[in-house]
Amino acid sequence: MAALELYVRQGFEKTTVEEIAQSVGLTERTFFRHFADKREVLFDGQDMLQQAFLDGVRAAPPSASPLEMVTAALAVAAESFADERRPWSRQRHAVITANPGLLERELLKRASLAAVVAGALRARGVAERAAVLAAETGVTVFSVAFSQWIAEDEQRSLAEVEREVLEELKALAA
């Protein structure tokens, strides 16, 4: 992604929308038809991630517990993160963590994801508190697993790391 390359090379703050648009042969006006601002370029996959979580919750068997529904959601979400995306994801993470405003936006996106997942769990008949707990837990597991998955020495798939994090969580709760 051209914008990410510019952010890495020049820094997020120093990169302009004009530079991003020019790097991909667009006008600024066209850029703004696709993105509200230059921050949103880094969060372009949020809708896809949210949909993956929703698909997983909805596809879980009727007898599934809230945690099993979230586990199904995590598995579907992990399918979106092929190993080829790992270097890009590492760079994206580095840009976000280096900028307090972007980090805040990342946390807001996670909170939004948890709220949407909680809504899907409630729609499946899960009680309010259990839905919120399961959704927040699922997003936290995803976040912890994702951070491990992008580590330089990590070779396993995101799905494998998610399973390990879930097992560790279950051991902590036992």
pLDDT, tens digit, for every residue of 2-38? 889 999 999 999 999 999 999 989 999 999 999 999 9
Q: Kindly report the number of other CB atoms within 10 A of residue 170's CB atom.
A: 10
Domain with CATH 1.10.10.60 in the chain: 1-42
* CATH homologous superfamily of 1-42: Homeodomain-like (1.10.10.60)
Domain with CATH 1.10.357.10 in the chain: 45-173
45-173 CATH fold: Tetracycline Repressor; domain 2 (1.10.357)
pLDDT, tens digit, for every residue of 96-115? 999 999 999 999 999 999 99
pTM listed for this prediction: 0.91
